[in-house]
Amino acid sequence: MAQAKLTIDLDALCDNWQSLNALSQSETGAVVKADSYGLGADRVATALAQAGARTFFVAVAEEGAKLRRTLGPGVEICVFSGHMPGDLGLIRDANLVPMINSIDQMLCHVEGLPGHPFGIQLDSGMNRLGMEPAEWSALRDIALAQNPRLVMSHLACADEPDHAMNRQQLAQFTAMTDGIDAPRSLSATGGILLGEDYHFDLTRPGIGLYGGMPFVDARPVVRLDIPVIQTREVLAGETVGYGNSWVAQKPTRVATIASGYADGIHRAMGPQAHVWVGEHRAKILGRISMDLIAVDLTGVDGTPETVELLGLHQGVDTLADWAGTIGYEILTSLGARYDRVYIGG
């Protein structure tokens, strides 16, 4: 079998949720947008609900409706994109809580679904989603009179603890929400780590649950084992892969493994990338192909059945550094072709 195996450790996931929960006095939600950062919202959200998560966040109403079928009643499912035209049926039937982002969305919501729960998303400086201060001033009293489930905002620079933007957004959010009765939420993973001032009533971790930075104490959640298809001896002066970009300087034992950029293994990782064969670090040779990668097995005894690209030796953030991106993008890129195996939970 040449299908690579992506193992998702639900116990590590739930431990990460518990660890983040222990860092604040607030309720800890769970962000499961984009199919739980690519790891499978059905299994991930079910495990997190069992661990005690009660408030889930998704990006769009369609994700929320699917999640409701998985989790059933009894948990709150909040939608960051709010109430978009055409969402009415989904929001009503799946009992979703749209995070209202503008006066237009507010009108759409109260006209279409009077009395249906909603939350408010405020822009405290990121200029991505949420009501601007002036918009909020105009709407505030009317909105608060209808008891929003949550009033939230999002930090732009929380992964940099010393960034002045954090204090600035905290001050803006506080000014916009001081004295209100509705529960408040400002922090994702990074904000939780900034300390108590940032916690408010509910936190919204995503990446930290899945083992990514900036939560340095996270347990790794994913492991990726890739089968070796064949090996060969390459002589000094021979080349490997597209474009002849790697040239052997000495006799080299080369293995071809069964994954590539179509599986979310970024081609941009290039020459710095490695895989692991037990405790041996084996270099990736030449260009990453769509379905195949060459690795240097020189010095490895015998031929392993598989090599490890993600696991205890290197995680999503190591791969992200090689590819010039972030762990989030590595996770959400992991392809559909893997055999996904869930352990624990």
Ligand X SMILES: *Cc1c(COP(=O)(O)O)cnc(C)c1O
Which residues belong to the active site? 33, 242
Is residue 130 close enough to count as binding ligand X by CB under 6 A?
A: no
Nearest to 8 by CA among 257, 277, 220: 220
The first and second tokens of residue 298, run together, are 């020189």
**Stretch binding ligand X (CB under 6 A), from 70-78, 104-112, 204-212, 286-294:** 204-212
Is residue 189 close enough to count as binding ligand X by CB under 6 A?
A: yes
Q: Which is nearer to ligand X, 80 or 173 (CB)?
A: 80
Query: Bridge-partner residues for 256, per DSSP?
Result: 230, 294
**Which residue type, as a one-letter code, is found at position 234?**
V
Is residue 31 close enough to count as binding ligand X by CB under 6 A?
A: yes
DSSP letter at 309 equals E
Is residue 184 close enough to count as binding ligand X by CB under 6 A?
A: no
Q: Which is nearer to ligand X, 128 or 281 (CB)?
A: 128
Q: Which is nearer to ligand X, 188 or 323 (CB)?
A: 188
- Provide the H-helix boundaries in 29-163: 33-37, 41-51, 61-71, 88-93, 103-112, 133-145
Q: How far apart are CA 264 and CA 261, in angstroms?
A: 5
Nearest residue to the partner ligand X, using Cβ:
206
**234-273: which residues touch ligand X (CB under 6 A)?**
none
The first and second tokens of residue 33, run together, are 């947008």
**Contact present, 4 and 337 (Cβ < 8 Å):** yes
The first and second tokens of residue 71, run together, are 């989790």
Is residue 6 close enough to count as binding ligand X by CB under 6 A?
A: no
For ligand X, the binding residue among 66, 109, 204, 266 (CB under 6 A) is 204
Is residue 199 close enough to count as binding ligand X by CB under 6 A?
A: no
Is residue 80 close enough to count as binding ligand X by CB under 6 A?
A: yes
Is residue 206 close enough to count as binding ligand X by CB under 6 A?
A: yes
**271-310: which residues touch ligand X (CB under 6 A)?**
none
Q: Which is nearer to ligand X, 47 or 155 (CB)?
A: 155
**Contact present, 195 and 7 (Cβ < 8 Å):** no
Note if the bond before 214 is cis, omega within 30 degrees.
yes
**Closest CB 78 distance from ligand X, rounded Å:** 10
Is residue 83 close enough to count as binding ligand X by CB under 6 A?
A: no
Binding-site size, ligand X (CB under 6 A): 12
Q: How far apart are CA 293 and CA 227, in angstroms?
A: 11
Is residue 200 close enough to count as binding ligand X by CB under 6 A?
A: no
Nearest to 117 by CA among 90, 138, 96: 96
- Footprint of ligand X (CB under 6 A): 31, 33, 80, 154, 188-190, 204-208
